[in-house]
Structure 1
Amino acid sequence: MSENEVDLDFFRRNFQQYQQPQQQQQKHIESNTSNIIITLGVQNNSHHGDGNSNSSNEDDEIIYGISSCQAFKWNFIMEVIFWFVCIASLGSLLLLCKWINWLKLYLTCVKISTTFKQADFLLIESNCSIHGMDGSFGRYTVVPICRDLEREFNVKFIKFRTVSFVYCEERDGFIPCRFNIGNNFNQLHEKIDQFVENQNLSKFHKLLNQIFGKNIIETPVKPIFSLLVDEVFHPFYIFQIVSVVIWCMIDYWIYALAIAFISTLSCLINLHSTRQSMVKLREMTGNQVIQLNRVKLSQDQAISQPNSIHKYHIDKRERVSSSELIPGDFVEIENGMNVPCDMILMSGQVIVNESIMTGESTPVKKMHIPNKSNHFHQHGEISNIFEGHTLYAGTNVIMIKHQVIGMVINTGFQTMKGKLIIPIIYSKPSNFQLYRDSFKYMIIMFFFGCAGVAGTFINLYNIHVPIPRIFLECFVLMTIVIPPALPIAIATTLSFAIYRLRFWNIFCIAPQRISLSGIVKKLVFDKTNTLTCDHLELHHVIQSNHLDTNSGELLENPNSPVGDIMHWAMSTCHELTLLQNGQLVGDPLDIKIFEATPFKFIEDHPTSGHSQVQSENEETSFEILKIFPFKSSLQRMSVIVKHQSGKIFCFTKGSGEMIKQLCDNSQSVPFDFYQTLYSNSHKGYRVIGVAFRELFIDDLEMIQTIDRNQVECDLKFIGLICLENKLKKETPQVIKKLLKCNLDVVIASGDNPFTVTSVARQIGLMTSEKIYLGELDLSRTNENWMNSLVWRNVDSEKDIITTEQLIEESHLYANLVEFALTGPVFNYILQHASDCTISINNQLELSFIKFILMNCKIYSRFSPQDKMKLVEILQNDLKYSCLMCGDGQNDIKALKLAHVGVSLSSDQEASLAAPFTSLKPSIECVLSVLREGRCALWSSFQVFKYMSLYCLIQFYTVVILFQKNTKMSDFQYLFVDLFIALPTLLLMTRTKSTNQLKRKKPPTTLFSKQVLLSWFSQIFLSFLTILLVWIEIHSGKFNWITLLDHPSEDVTQNYLSYESTIMFFMSTLCTINCCISFSISKPYKKSLWSCNIMYICCLVAIYLYTCYVILIPAQVWKSIFLLVNMPMFYKIRILIYGMIHLIISYGIEYILVADSFLKILKKLNLVNILKVVKSFGLENNVTINGWIKYLNSREKPYRQYRKLFKRE
């Protein structure tokens, strides 16, 4: 076999056998012999998810969520024809290809319908639209097929959204290229052996470099020129450019230049904002390129570390840039290193800071991989079994122990850090209602425009204006309807919100989530380090022979045998380590328990090489031989230690329930175990169970290969450790404020259900005195699922509700009790009761899980995966807008999945764990996020209403004036657009949010009754005012007015007229009045006087100057604005009309935000109207009843439920 064949075979064995989690199907792109349209989609087996939902694996959905793939081959003749047509069309075809990214592919390539083998390009269609920072957009992506540069291997591959797919000729498809490290430690060791043997395959390394690229995580930062081209050729700006050209053609030079100035300003602001965001994101997310030692290993002798299990030593060191690393390389880890990629530790021990990944600042200890094990792990556990041995890119090495060698397993965007960044680079278009509704509003305004254009066309035609001129004027009318400064206004609103959040030490990496925080209804809080303090206090220890007394202070009887064993367990069962300065680091729980013992910790004892614990009097010592780290899914950790006498013990600690399961059923477990566990948990203590067993192992080397399931069984119970995790002082006040604002608050924690219940009661979360905890009877799981699930009162062991009772009498329990769920019960219901439906009072049908979740505020023993599922169901099934708040340690998936994720961090930088990061680890930040979200949302509504109304007022004015073939002059347009609309728009959004969160919530859509009523009322009022003034000047009661009874065909000759002057004054006053009316701050923003004086000064200056132009303009302004002279009494009359309009306009807006009016408006809906109609003798009308039922079914489930029980 040739060297090339050896390299290629090795590549296929290790990089094309891509392992997938069990919950997903194998992902690949294959051809279908008939049409090549086959695909892979991310499959989710969750009972409550679908392909289009916001998946927990968002990066997988972005990359692998493919609905079709088509192959194309480049054609030279078609390419030549394409460029000829581009030149002939003056670039119009190129512009079209820029807007439709797949069009050029169809025009220059031939579609292949047989095989991928001859293809040059792929057209990949995704399940969802993407807006990529690299310029990609929409659902379709054109991907060129690459080949190895030297053509030695004949390997073809593509790069699709950071992932390499390699062509597999046997399957005629592209397979994701990842480093296959296996499913268990046996397979991992085999991979290590293979890579050590094949370190010298130089051509193979070149191939990997081509496929994987450089080990760099860099978010794209487009050149300024490229960004400028993207902005200029956006359809909005193309429309503006065409408009300016047409305005110039009909001699509107000044107005055209003004609009060109506004559009250019908008373009430059967007360009600067986009560029700054890209640069800032790259600075925050990029991995630092460093110099490090890439090593070559030999299998002659062991690495210089006691008890090493890997028989390699460093044969050669090579100083290289971290950007050159590829999967399979071996790297020497150094102190203080910023880890450049994901690596598996082959030897040594490392203390790392993972705050950039999780937001959690507690240092984490990483151990080298254990020796070969026969235990096989299922696919779903892959990430978990290697997690404690993996260094992740972006983390910082605090300290190393011994010589540390790591093997590179992921580089670039395939690292854990890279996966967190992929959804940022390839973001899905916001589904926020405001953005969808804005387009609907544009359609409404378009119809306004069409109606005006039709009327104008008829009027101008009747007065014999040339047809070409009529078409030009009609086009100008349509351009007035499109607000030119709208992009500036929306961008400014979010920019001010981000700035204000930074004032509160809250960083935001997803600006669109700010507006989403304004409509949050459900808040999910983690408990530990979120609601409670990050430090624990050991309160007391209960030993097994003291359980009946329910007391026993720590060290009260230190000489008793049982006391000794408890001390041994507390001093050895942990994952602590010492820094070089002597500081003990690790889990705060472990530290508190260890510090309460009369033992000291010795790292790497000079004699044994193992960590040791030694009593202060040096009479007792233990060597820690092996650690089985804590796993949330197992709810426990264990250590194997060697006593100075030579005896070997296994000590295990974890949740009380889990320790009970692992103990034998002998006398070691006291009869009152559950009673004691319950009573202490009910007091709010965090209760940890402790157990042990003696191991009879002669060969200590066997310990390195032993599996935890072999030792974590038949344990003997020692006792319970009760720790107090006090509430943060601000927690009760914050929760009280949230509940007062009618927000739903729940707790999702990994802690004991009674402990979580106690915390919930302390913070005033529970509204019902009766709380029923779901319990599983495992002995009856083979029966009907309802028989296996019961609900027990947490305060009364004998008070039990069966699931059958709950279903049959749901209307009784729904309004009287609260439920509490544990992770196992939650998953059991999802698995067995997904089809169960409850009918409440024959008015509302809900699934069983929905019914429980609507009445549940306590979620205990919830793993990170359970939290993610919970958020997904709340959002997708119950239609809640959710906020998730946690410390980022165990809830990253839930934080990223939630509509609004807030991570609490004590570091001085933002993390990638969530869209929002608070540098102050307090849930007070949630109030700030909600306040700013509501403020930004309300400001967006105000801005949009004002922008659309100002355009419509101007449009209506011009339509009326066109009856006399006249309109506003260039400087009149300029004055309104540049000196009134633009500055007020920019300053309107500067108003700060209120200091207190209000109970009243802002509308969630532009089509809410409140917004629609405001918008149409202001349109009607403004149009009516302008129309009445127009009718008045044509009534003939003012003899001094000379009307345009015979207007000139040239519109410019008609500018200087009473009609245009009076309409200009009136429309300008209406525009300013609407701006003032839409500036009402109540109830989500502070008053203008307290925080936006600049805006008030701007309004005053504009109003005074407008009055000056109306009343006593200088001759120069008359000439510029083309104004005619009018009697003073009529000028005052116009101002009076303006004041009347202002009073009515402001009154309308003031009434619309009044609580009493909103209550009436809330009841004014189609369902209630139909009910009133029914009362007139139509109770049995099938049509009306059908409509009522249909409209009720369209409402969100949680709102239907609340209405039924009058909880809102």
Structure 2
Amino acid sequence: MTAGIVYAQRRLKKVGIFCISPQRINICGQLNLICFDKTGTLTEDGLDLWGIQRVENARFLLPEEKVCSEMLVKSQFVACMATCHSLTKIEGVLSGDPLDLKMFEAIGWILEEATEEETALHNRIMPTVVRPPKQLLPESAPAGNQEMELFELPAVYEIGIVRQFPFSSALQRMCVVARVLGDRKMDAYMKGAPEVIAGLCKPETVPVDFEKVLEDYTKQGFRVIALAHRKLESKLTWHKVQNVGRDAIENNMDFMGLIIMQNKLKRETPAVLEDLHKANIRTVMVTGDNMLTAVSVARDCGMILPQDKVIIAEALPPKDGKVAKINWHYADTMTQNNDSSAIDPEAIPIKLVHDNLEDLQVTRYHFAMNGKSFSVILEHFQDLVPKLMLHGTVFALTMLGCAVTVQMIVALKRAHGGISLSELEASVASPFTSKTPSISCVPNLIREGRAALMTSFCVFKFMALYSIIQYFSVTLLYSILSNLGDFQFLFIDLAIILVVVFTMSLNPAWKELVAQRPPSGLISGALLFSVLSQIIISIGFQSLGAFNTTGSLDGNSSHLNDETNPDKHNIENYENTTVFFISSFQYLIVAIAFSKGKPFRQPCYKNYFFVVSVVMLYAFILFIMLHPVDSIDQVLQIVCVPYPWRITMLIIVLVNAFVSIAVEESLDWWGKCCLSWALNCRKKMPKAKYMYLAQELLVDPEWPPKPQTTTEAKALVKENGSCQIITIT
């Protein structure tokens, strides 16, 4: 039964998916929930500069797309972008943080670092210098033949980075001290999280609508970075700057504006999510990014459809004697991005339990929450956790530094089918690693998992029928004091069973995902009914052939007596020959009947090795049955039966094949109808707890929570974490 897993692993390797835990392949065939990271998984790894929005006189200007221009080349805004970074040159190539690299490339400036000779010559560390390209600087030429004094000669515009305070995850900002060539005073430039930067600036320099503008950008899925500037005092010399703390620099700044970075969706993301939704596979986003940004990306990629409601759960811990509470907010449902890559909502069917539900119940809803809220809910609202998990789609669990990598590795290892899209440290713990860094590997893995699972079921059913058919053959022959010969057993086991088992497992996966999922276990109604029906058919036709042998043939010829070569074990007789031929054909018949194709595997006729093997075995057995060969008959210990009985055996085999295949094919349709009818009559409750909870929530008038309501935890929390809903008007 492991042959299907081995072949699936080989097919996955061909499409660039490597597996270190083969037993997980079958489990992937049962997946109904996929959790995705955002950056680098649904979206591109790097960020692209979308534009800037400068601030003048505490008011936002219109957004500007082009930063590399003559008008802005000497502005403090561009100077901050040119100096406030941690870039360096390694073998002549500019290297560093991808975000800093994108910002520096956008302005088109040039970075020069001091060489070892220059550093040794001046006996001190030479500063890194940045300057714009000459074509961006305004040209200035002397008027007429008037000679210019030395101090009037046009100087090159350069900025030296004197001191750098590196980016800190805890502080969420970085700062540099720089000096323009020729200026007496130094400048301090700072960039980082907008809320942090605004808090370190003079209040009169921060626009009044700062929070609204920032929220608009994050809702559209942009990543926003704020810039600030401050002119330092003239008493701060180069030596003093080297010893001053960053707290003395990072205060009383002037707010300069925002840099808007865009994290584009990967080209494959919308189509893959559409395929998963059509297959009734739920998708969830778990990210360390801003929650509103994550919600926007979820809408853009089709994880949340435009008509779906998004409910933001804002949980607050107990404070000042007040109990913990959850504020429920409904996010805007209006689409923010009309990009052509968005999924057409009409192309994705929404699965409804009842057709006569009211609009409020029909509308799909999704919960979104950040890491702090999730922690409060886990601690104070345990009874709400299953309800939120059932419809939770966006979890912005903000983590910093190595915590992201650690949590990622733990999640990949604990998941039923973790997939790493990189070959770095995460791939060591992940059962699967994709060579292609996109989520297009997810449908491939699920399809191969379903195909491997169905192959395991097919092989199990075939081996079960093989055992029963052979057991009944031996039982029939024992009844007449006979048995199968040694070479007959050997031919059945090696030439038929071994070849069929390994070739019937080669069926490739079906080309697309379907909403139907394969059975989750061997003990299922459809599988058992299939096996039992084939057992009855095989026993019936084998009995028909064996019991009619004596009546159809001459009574004295049923058991051959050869005085020169006596058969001590009574093997060479008509009953033995009849049972051997019919059972040999039955092994091939059930192999074909069980080699199902759509919707999880390709049709068996596309499995060329299986087709060739079965045709050759059919041809060989049919040939030695209709045209006996003495040498083969002696080896297999079979006898030459009369020609009419050979034709009779052929008719029995053909009818057996027709009945077996017809019954197996009809089970796919009749089995579903009978199963659905039985479930409707019995009104059986679902076994899975989440399905039972989903049915309860459908008729719960208090769920989902209404907009602008608050759920408060009771002061005396019971074991089940009970809570109450209070509506605030």
Aligned position for 1:181: none
Structure 1, residues 206-234: CA drift from partner, whole Å, max 9, x if none?
A: xxxxxxxxxxxxxxxxxxxxxxxxxxxxx
Among 392, 401, 422, the alignment partner of 1:905 is 422
**Cα distance 1:718–1:549, how it changes in 2: closer, same or farther (>3 A)?**
closer
Q: How much has 1:826 moved relative to structure 2? A: 1.9
Aligned position for 2:37: 526
**Cα distance 1:1169–1:933, how it changes in 2: closer, same or farther (>3 A)?**
same
Among 391, 412, 418, the alignment partner of 1:895 is 412
Counterparts of 1:740 and 1:896, CA distance in 2:
27
**Cα distance 1:865–1:832, how it changes in 2: closer, same or farther (>3 A)?**
farther
Aligned position for 2:210: 673
| 1:775 aligned counterpart, secondary structure | strand
C-alpha contact 1:610 1:624 (8 A) present in aligned 2? no
| 1:722 aligned counterpart, secondary structure | strand
Aligned position for 2:190: 651
Could you tell which deviates more after superposition, 1009-1018 or 945-954?
Answer: 1009-1018
Aligned position for 1:468: none
Structure 1, residues 436-494: CA drift from partner, whole Å, max 9, x if none?
A: xxxxxxxxxxxxxxxxxxxxxxxxxxxxxxxxxxxxxxxxxxxxxxxxxxxxx51x322
**Cα distance 1:730–1:979, how it changes in 2: closer, same or farther (>3 A)?**
same
Counterparts of 1:637 and 1:1041, CA distance in 2:
102
**Cα distance 1:677–1:1060, how it changes in 2: closer, same or farther (>3 A)?**
same
Counterparts of 2:406 and 2:379, CA distance in 1:
27
C-alpha contact 2:560 2:572 (8 A) present in aligned 1? no
Aligned position for 1:1141: 656
Report whether the alignment pairs 1:594 with 2:87: no
| 1:523 aligned counterpart, secondary structure | strand
C-alpha contact 1:964 1:1044 (8 A) present in aligned 2? no
Counterparts of 2:250 and 2:468, CA distance in 1:
75
User: TM-score, normalised to structure 1's length?
Assistant: 0.48
C-alpha contact 1:598 1:615 (8 A) present in aligned 2? no
Counterparts of 2:642 and 2:441, CA distance in 1:
59
C-alpha contact 1:599 1:613 (8 A) present in aligned 2? no
Counterparts of 1:864 and 1:1052, CA distance in 2:
82
Aligned position for 2:676: 1163
Structure 1, residues 861-905: CA drift from partner, whole Å, max 9, x if none?
A: 54389999xxxxxxxxxxxxxxxxxxx898333223322122223
Q: How much has 1:664 moved relative to structure 2? A: 6.1
Counterparts of 1:1041 and 1:939, CA distance in 2:
47
C-alpha contact 1:1057 1:1124 (8 A) present in aligned 2? yes
**Pairing 1:938-953 to 2, within 5 Å after superposition:** 938-953=454-469
Aligned position for 2:387: 851
Q: How much has 1:550 moved relative to structure 2? A: 5.0
Aligned position for 1:994: 510
Q: How much has 1:979 moved relative to structure 2? A: 0.2
Q: How much has 1:1196 moved relative to structure 2? A: 3.9
Structure 1, residues 29-85: CA drift from partner, whole Å, max 9, x if none?
A: xxxxxxxxxxxxxxxxxxxxxxxxxxxxxxxxxxxxxxxxxxxxxxxxxxxxxxxxx
Report whether the alignment pairs 1:754 with 2:269: no
Q: How much has 1:649 moved relative to structure 2? A: 3.4
Counterparts of 1:988 and 1:1093, CA distance in 2:
10
Q: How much has 1:1043 moved relative to structure 2? A: 5.8
Counterparts of 1:777 and 1:1159, CA distance in 2:
48
Counterparts of 2:40 and 2:273, CA distance in 1:
15
Which residue type is aligned with residue 860 of structure 1? A
**Cα distance 1:560–1:911, how it changes in 2: closer, same or farther (>3 A)?**
closer
**Pairing 1:434-449 to 2, within 5 Å after superposition:** none
Counterparts of 1:980 and 1:1126, CA distance in 2:
23
Counterparts of 1:828 and 1:1006, CA distance in 2:
42
Which residue type is aligned with residue 823 of structure 1? G
Among 199, 219, 222, the alignment partner of 1:685 is 222
C-alpha contact 2:552 2:645 (8 A) present in aligned 1? no
Q: 5+ residue gaps in structure 1?
A: 1-488, 797-809, 837-847, 869-887, 1172-1187
Among 741, 749, 753, the alignment partner of 2:279 is 741
Q: How much has 1:597 moved relative to structure 2? A: 3.0
Q: How much has 1:698 moved relative to structure 2? A: 8.2
Q: How much has 1:549 moved relative to structure 2? A: 4.8
Counterparts of 2:511 and 2:102, CA distance in 1:
38
Q: How much has 1:973 moved relative to structure 2? A: 0.4
Which residue type is aligned with residue 891 of structure 1? M
C-alpha contact 2:485 2:637 (8 A) present in aligned 1? yes
| 1:891 aligned counterpart, secondary structure | helix
| 2:518 aligned counterpart, secondary structure | coil
Which residue type is aligned with residue 1084 of structure 1? F
C-alpha contact 2:163 2:241 (8 A) present in aligned 1? no
| 1:912 aligned counterpart, secondary structure | helix
Structure 1, residues 978-1030: CA drift from partner, whole Å, max 9, x if none?
A: 00011111111222222222332222211233322222222232223323434
Q: How much has 1:1031 moved relative to structure 2? A: 4.0
C-alpha contact 2:315 2:374 (8 A) present in aligned 1? no
| 1:757 aligned counterpart, secondary structure | helix
Counterparts of 2:379 and 2:107, CA distance in 1:
44
Report whether the alignment pairs 1:1095 with 2:588: no
Aligned position for 1:1109: 624
| 2:430 aligned counterpart, secondary structure | coil
Counterparts of 2:103 and 2:408, CA distance in 1:
25
| 2:39 aligned counterpart, secondary structure | coil
| 2:208 aligned counterpart, secondary structure | coil
Report whether the alignment pairs 1:638 with 2:204: no
Counterparts of 1:513 and 1:1121, CA distance in 2:
43
| 1:596 aligned counterpart, secondary structure | helix
| 2:225 aligned counterpart, secondary structure | strand
Counterparts of 2:259 and 2:31, CA distance in 1:
39
C-alpha contact 1:864 1:890 (8 A) present in aligned 2? no
Aligned position for 2:375: 827
| 1:584 aligned counterpart, secondary structure | strand
C-alpha contact 2:68 2:107 (8 A) present in aligned 1? no
Aligned position for 1:620: 159
**Pairing 1:130-145 to 2, within 5 Å after superposition:** none
C-alpha contact 1:649 1:694 (8 A) present in aligned 2? yes
**Cα distance 1:641–1:1023, how it changes in 2: closer, same or farther (>3 A)?**
farther
C-alpha contact 2:408 2:426 (8 A) present in aligned 1? no
Report whether the alignment pairs 1:497 with 2:8: yes
Counterparts of 2:520 and 2:400, CA distance in 1:
30
Aligned position for 1:551: 63
Aligned position for 1:360: none
Report whether the alignment pairs 1:771 with 2:319: no
| 2:204 aligned counterpart, secondary structure | coil
Q: How much has 1:594 moved relative to structure 2? A: 1.6
Taking only the aligned residue pairs, the percentage that are identical comes to 30
Structure 1, residues 500-543: CA drift from partner, whole Å, max 9, x if none?
A: 12221222222222222211111122222222233432111112
Counterparts of 1:610 and 1:726, CA distance in 2:
39
Q: How much has 1:557 moved relative to structure 2? A: 9.1
Q: How much has 1:1145 moved relative to structure 2? A: 1.8
Q: How much has 1:1103 moved relative to structure 2? A: 0.9
Structure 1, residues 129-186: CA drift from partner, whole Å, max 9, x if none?
A: xxxxxxxxxxxxxxxxxxxxxxxxxxxxxxxxxxxxxxxxxxxxxxxxxxxxxxxxxx
User: TM-score, normalised to structure 2's length?
Assistant: 0.77
Report whether the alignment pairs 1:570 with 2:81: yes
**Pairing 1:896-975 to 2, within 5 Å after superposition:** 896-905=413-422, 911-912=427-428, 914-975=430-491
Counterparts of 1:524 and 1:1031, CA distance in 2:
60
Q: How much has 1:813 moved relative to structure 2? A: 6.6
C-alpha contact 1:541 1:552 (8 A) present in aligned 2? yes
Which residue type is aligned with residue 676 of structure 2? K
Q: How much has 1:1098 moved relative to structure 2? A: 0.7
Which residue type is aligned with residue 456 of structure 2? S
Among 590, 596, 599, the alignment partner of 1:1083 is 599
For the aligned residues, what is the CA RMSD?
3.8
**Cα distance 1:889–1:571, how it changes in 2: closer, same or farther (>3 A)?**
farther
C-alpha contact 1:771 1:817 (8 A) present in aligned 2? yes
Which residue type is aligned with residue 476 of structure 2? I
